[in-house]
Amino acid sequence: MTNIIPNIRRFLYFKKYLFRYAKCFNVLVSLSMKIEKIFVKLQSKILLLKSRNYLIQKQRIEYKNHRRMIELSGLNVNEQEKSIILERMDKMGHEQVVFCKDKKTGLKAIIAIHSTILGPALGGTRMWNYETEIDALNDVLRLSRGMTYKAAITGLELGGGKAVIIGDSRFEKSEALLRRFGQFIESLGGKYITAEDVGMSTKDMEYIKMETNHVTGTAEELGGSGDPSPITAFGVYMGMKAAAMYRWGKNSLEGKTILVQGVGHVGEYLVKYLSDEKANVLINDLNKKRLAFVAKEYDAKIIEGGNIYDLEIDIYAPCALGATLNTDTISRLRCEIVSGGANNQLEDEDVHANQLKEKGIIYTPDFLINAGGLINVYSEIKGFTSEQSLEKTKNIYNTTLEILTKAEQDGITTNQAAISIAEQRLIEKGK
């Protein structure tokens, strides 16, 4: 009994300290858990920052590797529109887009380089009074991509590019403006080569050539290939005859009723080829003076107004600006073949190519059959004779038949068939 009491006392004594130590231990545990939580949060933030930095670096590398450069400060667009532009660029796969602005001359232009996989990007400069700068950008992005496909499917060692100058070519064009534009082309170091397009002439190319050698389509007396319009029209003519062969079993266009919409340089030459073959040619254009001249020169019939899509004809040949083939016009079309020289004829490539297919209308892809002009200026670079250029343009006939056959066999649109062949060449070259 005497021994038990001291032991109880010792136990109570140690118990008091034990509780104290337990309290301290709990505090330490709690503190440790809090520190651990803080550490986890810090770690997650560090990881987040690292991932963001990685993405930034990755984007920088991707943009550098693909040479995608864009300066939007020269455009009158808001932040949302800038985002749309960048998204569209990425989707279409452009390498470089350059915005050119010069207060002194009034120059406002956009140069779009879609691809340089096969060679330097070659494509004409178009001067047009666009309603908005976004409209101009959309146009140049689509046109430049079309040039890539055009060069690839034709077997040329060229990439795709295009340029647009915003303004009315009748009143706002000047030597100073064109020469300043030439300086912008020169700054690209040969990645882009320009040529004549809508609103431009061989004389304009001469002004541009004063500032850069990266230009084609100058006058023949100056060593250039001259106006590309005749050979562009000849390529369209070849594609049209191929479509006739595919649809009717013979490539003769004699007696066929063909509506040519747009009788500018290319349209006029196409009318000449068709008239020479004794086709029944109808013409439509906003320019009444041009209509009167072409009608008299080639014995063509003038069709005025917007009811051209309701006419019962054999072939519709769009040779003006693009996007004339849309949901409304296709639903009204009463023809068997669409074959023309305009670029970007389909407002929506997938939707409207399918709509034409469903109606049983043969569509010859524009970037295929209007490649004659590109072949013509390509001859300047490679030193081809005019006879060699013409022979290469004649081959559009065979390529068109190949694409029409492929589209039917694979159950796809002719546009898809043409793009797949062009992209295959790009893939093979890029390996």
Predicted confidence band of residue 311 (pLDDT cuts 50, 70, 90): very high
**171 to 104, 129, 163, 164, 285: CA distances (angstroms):** 16, 10, 19, 16, 21
What is the per-residue burial (b if ≥16 Cβ within 10 Å, else e) of 155-168?
A: ebebbbbbbbbbbe
Predicted confidence band of residue 77 (pLDDT cuts 50, 70, 90): low
Q: Write down the mean pLDDT value for the chain.
A: 84
Q: Which CATH architecture is the domain 69-144+158-222 placed in? A: 3-Layer(aba) Sandwich (3.40)
Q: pLDDT higher for 429 or 290?
A: 290
Cα(94)–Cα(425) distance, integer angstroms: 17
Domains 69-144+158-222 and 230-423 share a fold: yes
Decide if 162 is catalytic: yes
| pLDDT at residue 100 tops 80 | yes
pLDDT tens profile 413-424? 999 999 999 988
Cα(270)–Cα(405) distance, integer angstroms: 25
**34 to 42, 43, 48: CA distances (angstroms):** 12, 14, 21
Predicted confidence band of residue 252 (pLDDT cuts 50, 70, 90): very high
pLDDT tens profile 253-285? 999 999 999 998 899 999 999 999 999 999 999
Closest CA to 336 of 361, 311, 354: 361
> Can you give the pLDDT at residue 65?
41
Residue extents of the structural domains in the chain = 69-144+158-222, 230-423
Instruction: Indicate the length of the chain as a whole number.
Output: 431
Predicted confidence band of residue 294 (pLDDT cuts 50, 70, 90): very high
Q: pLDDT higher for 306 or 159?
A: 159
Question: Which strands sit side by side in the sheet containing 315-318, from one edge to the other?
Answer: 301-302, 280-284, 257-261, 315-318, 337-338, 362-363
- For residue 196, the 8-state DSSP code is B
| pLDDT at residue 172 tops 90 | yes
Taking residue 10's Cβ as centre, other Cβ atoms within 10 Å add up to 10
Tokens of 124: 């004409």
> Among 44-48, 248-252, 332-336, 422-426, which stretch is predicted with the lowest mean pLDDT?
44-48
- For residue 130, the 8-state DSSP code is -
Which amino acid is present at 212?
A: T
CATH (one of 3.40.50.80, 3.40.50.300, 3.40.50.720, 3.40.50.2300) for 230-423: 3.40.50.720
Facing residues of 278 across strands? none
* Active-site hit among 108, 150, 162, 173: 162
pLDDT tens profile 129-159? 999 888 899 899 999 999 999 999 988 899 9
Predicted confidence band of residue 378 (pLDDT cuts 50, 70, 90): confident
Mean per-residue pLDDT, 91-107: 91
Predicted confidence band of residue 182 (pLDDT cuts 50, 70, 90): very high
